[in-house]
Structure 1
Amino acid sequence: MIFGTLRHHDTESLQQAFGPVSAGVQEALDWAAGHDLAALPCGQHAIDGDRLFVNVVEYETKQPEERFWEAHKAYLDVHVTISGREQIDMNFLGNLACGVYQPEGDFQPADGGKNASVMMQPGDFLVCFPQDAHRTAVACGGKPETVKKAIFKVRID
């Protein structure tokens, strides 16, 4: 996982903090920083066919027990918060009980406890790799609020 802010999304800043990042992740972050994400309607938006696209979503955060764990094998997720705050719980797939992978939706269900959490605020980003199970839309401090975010999908080649 990589947790950062779009204020420091440039290649040099990312390399200093995390080492080399994939060209697709850098492209997603550059696209996010160079566009008015708040103006995008909810739904899927093409950037480069099925290699790179963004899903804009809006939802109400909930209690952890009302949310589910997921991971992906075909795509990396780059979550970028547009408005609101949410907690994203993290754990490694190897620490969780995994269900049957669903290739049609690139969805790996999992179950178990969290290892860490990040508190996402507007302008923050979180990159989730295939081993990074994540439980999104968790209310910060137990207080539900509306979140709008962009989830960039970067195909793993």
Structure 2
Amino acid sequence: MFCSSLVNRNHWSPLLSDNVWRKSLAWLLHNASSAELGTYRLGQTDWFANVHEYKTKDQELCVWESHQHTIDIQYVISSSEQILWMPTTELEGPTKTFDNIDRQEWKVKEHGSPLPSKIVLSAGYFAIFLPNEGHCPMIKDENPALIRKAVIKIPLSLLRDG
């Protein structure tokens, strides 16, 4: 997991200098705040940005997820939310897998897991979740709120190929 403010390029640009990272983050910087709800292709079919809204909720109602073949860049356009993070090796499951998308769902082990890390993403901040990193988004930050968010899905193969 990696978190930063989108406008503070000097913090993240040395680490995220590959063309795929640069194009993904440039799309967020220049398009996310004005984009309509929907999906935007950034290159090949599986590389895209999805702009969506939802109401944040109590942690018990939220779902742990991970991906095996894609990286998530989750960027908050407006409002804020809490996201929990933990390696999938510390979670139980997967409890559910999906045939049509790269997503697995998990649950916290009854005993023996360390406490997850918690981040609060506010407008203008992003977090990167790598394959097999469990993350539990949509958690309210103090009170339930409508959040607008962009999530970029980067196929791992794009970074491996070059």
Q: How many residues align?
A: 151
Contact 1:60–1:144 (8 Å) recurs in 2: yes
**Displacement after TM superposition at 1:24 (Å):** 2.1
- Conservation of the 8 A alpha-carbon contact between 1:25 and 1:78: no
* Residues 56-135 of structure 1: pairs in structure 2 closer than 5 A: 56-99=51-94, 100-112=96-108, 114-135=115-136
Q: CA RMSD in A?
A: 1.8
1:25 equivalenced with 2:34 (yes/no): no
Matched residues in 1 for 2:6 and 2:125: separation?
6
Q: Is residue 81–residue 150 contact of structure 1 (8 Å, CA) maintained in 2? A: yes
Q: Which amino acid letter does the alignment assign opposite residue 147 of structure 1?
A: I
Amino acid at match of 1:119: V
Matched position secondary structure for 2:24 = helix
AA aligned opposite 2:124: G
Give 1:103 shift: 4.1
Distance 1:134 1:96 in 2: 10
**Greater mean deviation of Cα atoms: 37-46 or 116-125:** 37-46
Letter in 2 for 1:102: F
Is the Cα contact below 8 Å between 1:24 and 1:52 reproduced in 2? no
8 Å CA contact retained: 1:74, 1:156:
yes
> d(CA) in 1 for partners of 2:13 and 2:68?
24
Greater share of helix residues, 1 or 2? 1
Structure 2 CA distance for aligned equivalents of residues 90 and 14 of structure 1: 20
Structure 2: gaps spanning 5 or more residues:
110-114, 158-162
DSSP 3-state at the match of 2:127: strand
Consecutive unaligned residues of structure 1, counting only runs of 5 or more, are none
AA partner of residue 89 (structure 1): L
Runs of 4+ residues over 3 Å off in structure 1:
19-23
TM-score normalized with structure 2 length: 0.85
C-alpha distance in 1 between matches for 2:55 and 2:85: 19
1:139 paired residue number = 140
